[in-house]
Structure 1
Amino acid sequence: MTAECKLNENARKVLESRYLKKNTEGEIIESPDEMFRRVARNIAEANLKYDEDPSDDEENFYKIMKNLDFLPNSPTLMNADNELQQLSACFVLPVEDSMDGIFDSVKNTALIQKSGGGTGFNFSRLRPKNDLVKTTGGIASGPISFMKIFDAATNTIKQGGKRRGANMGILRVDHPDIMDFITAKEAEENLNNFNISIAVTDKFMEAVKKNQEYKLINPRNNEITGTLPACKVFDKIVEMAHKNGEPGIIFIDEINRHNPTPGIGEIESTNPCGEQPLLPYEACNLGSINLSHMTKTNEVDQIIIDYDKLAYTVKTATRFLDNVIDMNNYPLIKIKKIVEGNRKIGLGVMGWSDLLIKLGISYASEEAVNLARKVMAFIRKTSYEQSREIAERRGSFPNIAESIHQKPMRNATTTTIAPTGSISIIAGCSSGIEPLFAISYKRHVLDDTMIEVHPIFEKLAKKHKFYSRELMKTIAENSSIQDIEIIPDAIKKLFVTAHDIEPMWHIKMQAAFQKEVDNAVSKTVNFHHHASIEDVRTVYTMAYELNCKGVTIYRDGSRSEQVLSTGFKNKDSIPPSKKGKRPRPKVTYGTTEKTIIGCGKLYIIINSDKQGVCELFTTTGKGGGCHAQSEAISRLVSLALRSGVPLHEIIEQLRGIRCEAAMVKKDVNNLSCPDAIGRALENFINNTKNGKDIYQKLKPQFTEKNSTDSETEDTNCPECGARIEHEGGCAVCRNCGWSKCG
């Protein structure tokens, strides 16, 4: 059976949109099967460097990808045997405390993001704002001002035509500008291309526990500049995370306790989703095993984990990722040097929730947590065995003398739990180690809406005779099944979604995997809209106590569309929809403008919702006029707005159109009815930030009238308008495959 036969419709759509080769006319020129063969052949070629035959590995690499048992990170699928040949997902760059150092990092960021990689930075080396600058006699502007330069640079770069840049910005909790950093994204128009996290120390957490003050240190001279109450700072971190999901936290001392190469230097940052702590200039190559495929039926007809198949997949994937290091075209010489010196790889998992369902184990249970530890321990042990076997043939990683490893090892690290937004869609499985985000989805195809149901749930629904299209539609609209009486309790217990699960179980699951992972774990703790600030505080504290390396939370509806619609927050602020128009909102707010055209008075009504302008109506005065024409234009403009056509393009098409009636009359404000509409739209967006400030001004009334909507409010995909899922420290659209993290 070929790979194409195993792909569901969404997987095909994502591959065609983002991964498959295209010619200069944009026409697809390879099949999914050919893509897997292309990648397998390219990565196996690394064997030739060591005088090893690539043919067996090529077949094995092809097999695990074709069967969707394992997939590498997106850049490898996209770029292997393509012109870029840049195969890494994530990089960390240093930011030195000098103008040359800062702008060298900006330049290097552009090179990396152009090639398809995400970037992480620690801005803690930069002197605080108002500090002395000896060379000019002036004062420093501080880390946040320079972060805005990186943010602006990212905003102009579209990675290889396929991925938009993503950044992680980190500041140590003992930096003098820490309070400004914590609130840096309070205004949602700020730093939209950054995730931000606080590098929290053990000393700080101890000070929080004891309600003490802690010291702030100027990185320029390591002098103490003052103190802050630790509880006050922690309270502000929690408050902001509750408000809009950021900042996250990384536990920097816990990360460095597990630094595999302490002789090379301290780890100071991570990649954009936090799962990969890296030294300056390091990159990592990631891939994930589809655990939902690692099962078999035993002699008594029970589904169990197939550890033999899992071992084969782990060993093959470890060889694959090690080969990626040799086949990679690194954007900077410094990156090539340290990556080849440490040879870190990050083998992770996806389909964890699907595996639990197959095994009949509830996600929110000690049984699931214990199994997580057992499965990940097996994966790490097996990958270590394979890494040592490779080292016997090819040699250990060059920096092993500076590492914690006492035996030969090919790779300084072998395991990472990364977000798997796009590749889990291709594999047709649940994302990473997350619970299901939904059991039934609405999928938009042109003007039609189709319902896509989790295949095991659909099978059980039919077996237990409670299946109906109406029920599946209801589930798609409400996500959870826990309050639906017709569904048996045993099935409800298995099919829990991210919001059905108490936050502590999210953290317990993360901690269980972290115990057996070399690098870190990317996971989102999902909260209901009504979760309290204290709930967030409990999760952050629990993550520290359970030895997690970081924690990310998202409270449903706490972040508006602006943050995730990166790159569409200007004239193009309505996200471009490739799959038809979004539905008309239930409630809109707007303005009415009276203007004069050649036929008389024209009233132009422009309405907005929380995404911006969404519709336009016109009416004519008593003098008559081209009512049919103005109504037709209004309908087409409304359709274009909700279909994602950028506003500035609509305006450009309408402005300047002339009609005879306007040309022969005096005191006419506009050249024609279309010109009047174009001018009105232009005035509206210039005066109202595309209508969004109208929504903000009237938001209390909006929320009061639509209280049920506010609790499930979520951001929309900037490409297709469907609902976005927050998981794995990232955001992903199951409808079209868009991911904030690429």
Structure 2
Amino acid sequence: MRDAKRTQGTTAEFPQPLAAQIWQAKYRYATAGGIVDQTLDETWARVANGLAAHKALAVRDKVVTDFHAAMHDFKVLPGGRILSGCGTARHVTLCNTFVMRTIPDSVDGIMDTLKDAALTMQMGGGVGFDFSMLRPSGTVVRGLDCRAAGPLAAMDIFDATCKMIVSGMGRGAMMATMRCDHPNIEAFINAKSDRTRLRNFNMSVMATNEFMAAIAADETWDLVWQGAVMRRLRARDLWNAIMKQTYAAAEPGVLFIDRINAVNPLRYLEVIAATNSCAEQPLPPNGTCPLASINLAQLVSAPFTTDARLDVTQLRQLVRVAVRMFDNSLDVSRFALDAQRQQAQDQRRIGVGVTGVANAIAMMGVRYGSSKAVFLLGSWMQTIQNAAYGASALLANERGAFPLYDADKHLASRGIQALNQDIRALVEQHGLRNGTLTTIAPTGTTSMFAENVSSGIEPIFSTSFTRTITKANGEKSSERVMDYAAWQFAQIYGPNAALPDSFVTVADLSPDDHIAMQAAAQEWIDSGISRTVNCPEDIPFEAFKGIYRAAYDAGCKGCTTYRPNATTGSVLSL
């Protein structure tokens, strides 16, 4: 019945009006000459054909069929750049995520990097920068006999350029990172205390293991530039400055940068110092990665009954198809810079993740954040990781391993060692087509497009809520939407039936519940996770600080919190 409705080419294809609005505004292909995608099925067909464009004609029909079937019913959700750009004549990239080159500490280097970033954003990519390599404000610029303006002045220029390039696309198109030992770190932490400044940046402090140890031991901490100690302060004072700012304004986030590098499967090739704009994808200079999510809410059979199960066999098959789809995307995508294309070809990073996790858990009668939910999420992510690596090994046998693959070094990584024995054997035999394979990206818009499933591994915000939407022209509107699992329950048991106890929402969860779920997923993810620990407004400051220590101790690669207040506001409201 639902399938039949989706072939009509009208908004009746979508049970909730917001999904239709998103399709029409963001993912439906239309040109000045008229609408190309008459139906949602035609959108799937366009993307499937576009991702198979480089395949030999003899096998192309089967590949297109597999790709189309995987996306049908929103089971595999490509990233927004792929949905909107693949198979079109638009001069856009199919990759959401980029990190720009290391910024040279010179006027020429800064401005050249800015130009490269502008070209990347113009093609639809979100970008990240490490500003730690720029000399601190007040230091002498050799040969000019003047004082340096510092990293924050450069960030202001980047912010203004982003505003010009992506006007109407929303905030947070860029990520700025800075090491915890940079002499300007305090200015970086407090930069967005001025609510009109750096509005197009998300910001994260790179916290090292040494810094975290100094905080625990209440030691002093050196701020250093080119090997010289510029200033010394108490580590806990710097940590408290980070915590006070994020307590008040939800930024900066914290990246546990040494852990990110230690468990990076490609650590033998690179040192990571930045992420994409939403922090789920740590990347090297000029790095990029296409993203996709498997919608677990579509894989639960007999929902809301004692027989509810997640179809693990179908999950494995969808992952295998997704790996091929997004490996293909690297070959058909456009790139703003030759260096980005070269890095994509040399390492062939992809990021297969999940969405609809909280919905799937609720549909199985389990409380999000409980020990059983932690176990389920961990087991599902382990299944995905093994299926992705197996698929990439078979692709390597078919097409060749990624060019910079070093078997001995790659096989020694912690992630490979944790794989099932049969999958490790496949990798040892064939190598890997892709340098990294799994990521959990934020899926806010694509999740709403997929009938408002819960985003990524985030909990259900509310069973129904009003969401503030920013339109292409910058205007904001409020839309009433219903959570997918709650809508499904109402279809089965009637609109007046009381929801079961498994329907917990953000308001019902403790910070420990959030951290436990993030840590369970991170164990089986090559890259990172975009996730927010939601906190009550009245959480005590000391308890708030404890969230970040708990995330570090649990093995997470970073932590971001959100405490609603007059400063932060809210995108969602009950």
> TM-score surpassing 0.5?
yes
Q: Is the contact between residue 86 and residue 329 of structure 1 (CA under 8 Å) also seen in structure 2? A: yes
Of the three residues 11, 21, 29, the one matched with 1:21 is: 29
1:72 to 54, 73, 78: 78
**How far is 1:385 from its partner?**
0.1
Kindly provide the amino acid, as one letter, of the partner of residue 210 in structure 2.
Answer: K
Q: Does the aligned pair in 1 maintain the 2:280–2:440 contact within 8 Å?
A: yes
Are 1:20 and 1:78, in contact at CA under 8 Å, matched by a contact in 2? yes
| AA in 2 matched with 1:58 | V
**Residue of structure 1 aligned with 2:461, choices 426, 429, 437:** 437
Residue pair 1:417, 1:522 contacting (<8 A) in 2 also: yes
1:385 is matched with 390
Confirm or deny that 1:211 pairs with 2:235.
no
Superposed, which structure 2 residues align to 1:333-482 within 5 Å?
333-401=338-406, 404-406=409-411, 407=428, 408-428=431-451, 429-442=453-466, 452-454=481-483, 456-457=485-486, 467=496
1:188 aligns with 195
Which 10-residue stretch deviates more, 425-434 or 383-392?
425-434
Give the AA of the match of 2:61: S
CA offset at residue 181 of structure 1? 0.8
Return closer, same or farther for 1:135/1:55 CA change in 2, 3 Å cut-off: farther
1:256 aligns with 2:261: yes
Spell out, residue by residue over 1:608-643, the C-alpha distance to the aligned partner (whole angstroms, 9 max, x if none). Answer: xxxxxxxxxxxxxxxxxxxxxxxxxxxxxxxxxxxx
How far is 1:187 from its partner? 1.2
Q: Give 1:33's aligned residue.
A: 41
CA distance in 2, matches of 1:88, 1:558: 35
The structural deviation recorded for 1:442 is 4.0
Q: Quick check: 1:325 aligned with 2:330?
A: yes
The counterpart of 1:273, out of the listed 259, 273, 278, is 278
1-structure distance, mates of 2:273, 2:468: 42
Shift of 1:86: 1.2
Partners of 1:124 and 1:233 in 2: CA distance: 16
Alignment of 1:312-711 (within 5 A): 312-401=317-406, 404-406=409-411, 407=428, 408-428=431-451, 429-442=453-466, 452-454=481-483, 456-457=485-486, 467=496, 491=500, 493-560=501-568
Residue equivalent to 1:291: 296
Task: Give the structure, 1 or 2, with the largest relative contact order (CA under 8 Å, sep 6 or more).
Answer: 2
Q: Per the alignment, in what secondary structure is the counterpart of residue 270 of structure 2?
A: coil
Does structure 1 conserve the Cα–Cα contact (< 8 Å) formed by 2:75 and 2:294?
Answer: yes
* Contact in 1 for aligned 2:172/2:277 (Cα 8 Å): no
Q: Which amino acid aligns with 2:182?
A: H
Specify which of 109, 131, 138 is matched with residue 123 of structure 1. 131
Cα offset, 1:359, TM superposition: 0.5
* 1:99 pairs with 2:107: yes
Q: Deviations over 1:87-133 (max 9, x none)?
A: 00010012121111111111011101100010001100011011110
Label 1:247 to 1:454 Cα distance change in 2 as closer, same or farther (>3 A): closer
How far residue 36 of structure 1 moved from its aligned partner, in angstroms, is 1.0
How far does the alpha carbon of each residue in 1:191-218 deviate from its partner, in whole angstroms, 9 at most, with x for none?
A: 0000100000000000000000122110
Cα RMSD of the aligned pairs, angstroms, is 2.5
| Structure 1: segments with no counterpart, 5+ residues | 469-486, 561-713, 716-723, 726-732, 735-742
Counterpart Cα distance in 1 of 2:396 and 2:155: 41
Q: Distance in 1 between matches of 2:337 and 2:457?
A: 33
- 1:499 is paired with a residue whose SS is helix
Residue 141 of structure 1: which of 124, 144, 149 is its match?
A: 149
Q: CA deviation at 1:297?
A: 4.1
The 2-side partners of 1:55 and 1:438 are apart by: 42
1:90 to 97, 106, 111: 97
Tell me how far apart the structure 2 counterparts of residues 146 and 450 of structure 1 sit (CA, whole Å): 38
Q: 1:443 to 1:226 in 2, by over 3 A?
A: closer
Q: Distance in 2 between matches of 1:459 and 1:517?
A: 29
The answer (yes or no) to whether the contact 1:41–1:58 under 8 Å persists in 2 is: yes
CA drift of 1:536 comes to: 1.9
Q: The residue matched to 2:251 in structure 1 has which SS? A: coil
SS in 1 for 2:74: coil
Residues 373 and 513 in structure 1, CA contact (< 8 A), matched pair in contact too: yes
CA contact (8 A) 1:204 1:230 kept: yes
Contact 1:285-1:324 within 8 A present in 2 as well: yes
Q: Which deviations, in whole Å up to 9, do the C-alpha atoms of 1:664-694 show, x marking residues without a partner?
A: xxxxxxxxxxxxxxxxxxxxxxxxxxxxxxx
Instruction: Provide the rounded CA distance (Å) in 1 between the counterparts of 2:323 and 2:462.
Output: 32
Cα drift, residue 461 of structure 1 = 6.4
Is the Cα contact below 8 Å between 1:64 and 1:313 reproduced in 2?
yes
Q: Deviations over 1:271-291 (max 9, x none)?
A: 111110000000010000000
SS for the counterpart of 2:435 is coil
**1:242 matched to 2:247:** yes
Distance in 2 between residues matched to 1:464 and 1:436, nearest whole Å: 20
Which amino acid in the other structure matches residue 376 of structure 1?
A: M
Q: Secondary structure of 2:289's partner? A: strand
* C-alpha deviation, 1:6, in angstroms: 5.7
3-state DSSP of counterpart to 1:46:
coil
Q: Cα gap change, 1:92/1:155 in structure 2, threshold over 3 Å: closer, same or farther?
A: same
Shift in Å, 1:33? 1.4
Quick one: percent identity of the two aligned structures?
33
Number of the residue aligned with 1:482: none
- CA offsets, 1:356-401, max 9 Å, x none? 0111000020110111111100000000000000000100000112
- State how far apart, in whole Å, the 2-side matches of 1:258 and 1:325 are: 24
Measure, in 2, the Cα distance between the counterparts of 1:107 and 1:451: 40
Taking the aligned partners of 1:550 and 1:23, their CA distance within structure 2 comes to 41
Mapped partners of 1:462, 1:37: distance in 2: 29
Cα distance change on mapping 1:371 and 1:301 into 2, 3 Å: closer
Q: 1: CA distance between counterparts of 2:265 and 2:134?
A: 26
The match for 2:14 among 7, 19, 25 is 7
Give the TM-score taking structure 2 as reference length. 0.89
Cα distance in structure 1, aligned partners of 2:480 and 2:115: 45
Amino acid across the alignment from 1:64: A
Cα distance change of structure 1 residues 349 and 132 upon mapping to structure 2, 3 Å threshold? same
Cα separation, 2, equivalents of 1:175 and 1:328: 37
How far the C-alpha of 1:535 sits from its partner, in A, is: 2.4
In structure 2, the residue matched to 1:652 is: none
State the shift of 1:264 in Å.
2.4
State whether residues 359 and 484 of structure 2, in contact with CA within 8 Å, keep that contact through their aligned partners in structure 1. Answer: no
**1:158 positional shift:** 2.6
Distance 2:485 2:334 in 1: 41
CA shift at 1:265, angstroms? 1.9
Q: Which moved more, 1:510-519 or 1:85-94?
A: 85-94
CA contact (8 A) 2:172 2:201 kept: no
Aligned length: 538
Aligned-partner Cα distance in 1 for 2:171–2:236: 37
The one-letter code matched in structure 2 to 1:154 is C
Check conservation: 2:92, 2:124, Cα contact below 8 A: no
Structure number with larger C-alpha Rg? 1
Q: Distance in 2 between matches of 1:251 and 1:346?
A: 20
| CA apart distance, 1:13 | 1.1
Gaps of 5+ in 2: 412-427, 470-476
Secondary structure of 2:354 counterpart: strand
Cα distance in 2 for partners of 1:164, 1:244 equals 15
Alpha-carbon distance, 1:65 to partner: 1.2
Q: Given the alignment of the two structures, is residue 302 of structure 1 paired with residue 307 of structure 2, yes or no?
A: yes
User: Amino acid of the residue matched to residue 432 of structure 2?
Assistant: M
Taking a change above 3 Å as real, the CA distance of residues 402 and 273 of structure 1, as seen in their structure-2 partners, is farther
3-state SS of paired residue (1:47): coil
